[in-house]
Amino acid sequence: MKSYEEQRVPSAPAPSFREQGDVPAMSVTVRVPAKVNVQLTVGGARPDGFHELANVFLAVDLFDEITVSSAEELRITCSGRDAAEVPLDHTNLAARAARVLAERHGLTSNVHVHIAKDIPVTGGMAGGSADGAGALVACDALWGTQASRRQLLDICAELGSDVSFSLVGGAALGIGRGERLTELEVGGRFHWVFAMAGRGLSTPAVFKEFDRLNEGVRIPEPVASQDLLDALAKGDAKALAAAVCNDLQPAALSLFPELARTLAAGKAAGALAGLVSGSGPTIAFLARDAADAKEIAEALSASGTCRSVRTAVSPAVGAVVL
């Protein structure tokens, strides 16, 4: 297996300015997946406020599409059902990605970034991170900066803990604050049902609640579960269901107690496992196969315990230039 540094962003990036005879590409679109954490083991808080993690990411086939084109100034727009909830200012990770890449190459970040949003907003599925990774890859292609994979991954890590995984996709173990990745083998397809909640949860608030709930507790160093890695490598949904875990789940449930009803509804509908996705509030249910996922999705929709329901399959590829 190649290291992430040796791999290239799949598909053909737009030609560089030079290859095009100094005529810049008009626009570039990049598709980036959502993620679910099948293991999220949290260690103690570090002096910098972050927590050491053993974080097993799995990309799922819900995607945002990020299109960049030259503009007078940096501008972000967003379309899609949850578009109104997406910040369109400098805090948007897509804006930060464009700015950091431009700074590194002595360019101005005059670009229009349009986000076609399908990943739930503040849902624990790395939607914001996906937009950061997508804008970075898209601007690199638009500007012909030809950053190496290592340089792109370094910028991703600077932007946020989950952004590197959004770039690489597939399945990976993230250690450190989650940004130091090792690619994992996946031996089959996993079928998921995602139950979206009526409101979001703030990731810092969930980690803070984790700290509050664990005050005075000696937290062991987080390590990846071998049973879980074996289940992934075999493509064994039942074994994966037995091994999934999320240390942030009690904190998410403490801040959003109604999620317990969603979890119960999915399990009653026959899900192999149900867990909070990342810092929540989206709940991920693992199904046996596509037909099972459809049944669970229908039962969840009818249960009235969530805002909306989606089915998805993993693993999915990372950022791809369309």
Active site residues: 35, 162
Q: How far apart are CA 19 and CA 107, in angstroms?
A: 19
Near ligand C5P in 160-189, by CB under 6 A: 160-162, 177-178
Minimum Å gap between C-beta 211 and ligand C5P is 9
Closest CB to ligand C5P among residues 127, 144? 127
Task: Measure the CA–CA gap between 308 and 62, rounded to whole angstroms.
Answer: 14
Q: Does 247 contact ligand C5P by CB under 6 A?
A: no
Q: Give the x-and-dash track for 114-153 against ligand C5P (CB under 6 A).
A: ----------------------------------------
Minimal distance, residue 31 CB to ligand C5P, in Å: 21
Ramachandran class of 146: left when φ > 0, alpha when ψ lies in -120 to 50, beta otherwise: left
Element (H, E) at 303: helix 290-303
Of residues 95 through 114, those in contact with ligand C5P by CB under 6 A are none
Nearer to ligand C5P, 237 or 319 (CB): 319
Distances (CA, A) of 225 to 41, 188, 200: 9, 19, 29
Residue 73 CB neighbours (<10 A): 9
Figure out which of the listed residues 29, 41, 92, 203 binds ligand C5P, where binding follows CB under 6 A: 203
Task: Provide, rounded to whole angstroms, the least separation between the CB of residue 152 and ligand C5P.
Answer: 17
Q: Which residue type does 267 have?
A: K
Sheet containing 273-276: give its strands across.
Answer: 273-276, 283-287, 190-196, 308-314
Site stretch for ligand C5P (CB under 6 A), options 14-22, 202-210, 216-224, 232-240: 202-210
Closest CA to 94 of 69, 130, 62, 124: 130
- Among residues 21, 106, 204, 220, the one that binds ligand C5P under rule CB under 6 A: 204
Tokens of 7: 């791999």
User: Judged by CB under 6 A, which of 15, 44, 50, 299 binds ligand C5P?
Assistant: 50
Token pair of 197 as six digits: 């909640």
Q: Which residues bind ligand C5P (CB under 6 A)?
A: 49-51, 53, 160-162, 177-178, 203-204, 207
